[in-house]
Structure 1
Amino acid sequence: MPRPTSPILSADRIADAAIELVDAGKPFGVNALARELGVTPSSLYNHVDGRDAIVELMRGRLAVRSAIEVPDGLTWHGVVEYVVRAQRSMFAEHPLVLPLLVGKPVTDVTVLGYYEALAEALLSAGFPDEEVLVIVAVLDAFALGSGLDLSAPPQVWQAEPGTALGRLVAGGEPGGIRADKAFDLGVDLLIASLRVRLDAMREAKSG
């Protein structure tokens, strides 16, 4: 029997199948993924070291599929907004994948690339070394939470009638409309607060 002209498995195929498996709410693991791909676990281990390696393939594949690549020439706050919006969009499409990603260190070069662009932009703006990683973590948490918010029920709060929250919920906009407005306001607030912080640091140095 002739050998296939191309390998049955590839990193992209493994990652795509793993994402599809998790998105469908099915149990995730090497054996489950091997069944999904129609191969033996040993064949899968010829391409990946194990479950953690598959998760990292998924992380990188999501970033590639979402085409997250920071454009040249953006201001520091332009980079912040681009990365947060791109991450939110990516996370919103795959909420069940998120718990897997947050529990593992980031090693994928594509993902590290946009984090590097974010760090460089903040450093170039004048934020001190000791604050940049903290700011990146804040932005990350906001993007993650905002992505999950898009998969929330149309009415998140089931408040009692007659309460302040109940009145606001009854008159508010549901689901994605509220989530989009919350995200846009959050982006504006984050960037505005970072501007204020940066201006205060500059004033302190010049004084």
Structure 2
Amino acid sequence: MGRPRTPLLDRERITTTALALVDEKGDFSVPQIARRLGAQTGSVYHHVDGREGIVELLRERVSEGIDAGTLDPDRPWDESLAAWARSYRAAFAAHPRAIPLLMTSPVRAPRVLDQYERAVTLLLGVGFDLADVMPVIIALENMVLGSALDLAAPEAMWELPDETTTPRLAEALDAAPGGRADRAFELALAAFLAHARAML
């Protein structure tokens, strides 16, 4: 048999297949990727630096949805940070099962590191103490990623057997407007930004 005109394996196909597995199952393995692509497991390793390399490809792919241009030093820093947070949340909300995988491995992808560089530069440029910069960014990420997971949850997260055992909770749930995850995120973002302003 001659060689196929379209290669079975390349980094793009491997990344797409790994992300599909993560979206379905919450994880992936190199043999699973190879099976889906109709290739040998060993052939996958010719294109990527093992499982860790695939994780970084996934990080780059998911992070492509984040608008790094929001980290604009020519606009108010808090507006820039809020816009980045909303874009970051939307990108990860599209692949919520990737969050545990990506957040438990070190960040090495150059394009992703560049976004952190922009965020650090923005905060230093407006006067944050160097020692405070990473705690501010990490706190923002914790909020963003928690909210991205919340977006994947059912709108009704509390199922009460009746209203007699938890009457105040039942009242609060009845009084809460729709869009639970979005409203909670904007509340947390506003509180975060208020505290960050006070740090300055």
Calculate the TM-score normalised by the size of structure 1: 0.86
Within a 5 Å distance, the mapping from 1:8-27 to structure 2 comes to: 8-25=8-25
SS at match of 2:96: coil
2-side partners of 1:82 and 1:112: how far apart? 18
Q: Please tell me whether residue 139 in structure 1 is matched to residue 159 in structure 2.
A: no
Q: Please tell me whether residue 85 in structure 1 is matched to residue 89 in structure 2.
A: no
Q: Which amino acid aligns with 1:163?
A: P
Cα deviation 1:172-202 (Å, max 9, x = unaligned) = 234xx1111111122211111111221xxxx
Q: Please tell me whether residue 70 in structure 1 is matched to residue 89 in structure 2.
A: no
1-side partners of 2:53 and 2:13: how far apart? 14
More displaced 10-residue stretch of structure 1: 73-82 or 4-13: 4-13
- Indicate if the aligned counterparts of 1:87 and 1:143 stay in contact, CA closer than 8 A: yes
Calculate the TM-score normalised by the size of structure 2: 0.89
Q: 1:12 to 1:42 in 2, by over 3 A?
A: same
Cα deviation 1:156-181 (Å, max 9, x = unaligned) = 1235625322211122234xx11111
- Indicate if the aligned counterparts of 2:124 and 2:130 stay in contact, CA closer than 8 A: yes
- Indicate if the aligned counterparts of 1:34 and 1:40 stay in contact, CA closer than 8 A: yes
2-side partners of 1:67 and 1:190: how far apart? 20
1-side partners of 2:11 and 2:181: how far apart? 34
What is the Cα-based RMSD across aligned positions, in Å? 1.9
2-side partners of 1:70 and 1:123: how far apart? 17
Within a 5 Å distance, the mapping from 1:109-128 to structure 2 comes to: 109-128=110-129
1:197 corresponding residue in structure 2: 199
- Indicate if the aligned counterparts of 2:17 and 2:36 stay in contact, CA closer than 8 A: yes
Q: Please tell me whether residue 37 in structure 1 is matched to residue 42 in structure 2.
A: no
2:52 corresponding residue in structure 1: 52
Matched-pair identity in %: 37
Q: Which amino acid aligns with 1:122?
A: L
**Deviation (angstroms), 1:26:** 6.7
Q: How many residues align?
A: 195
Question: After TM superposition, which residue ranges in structure 1, 4 or more long, deviate above 3 angstroms?
Answer: 1-8
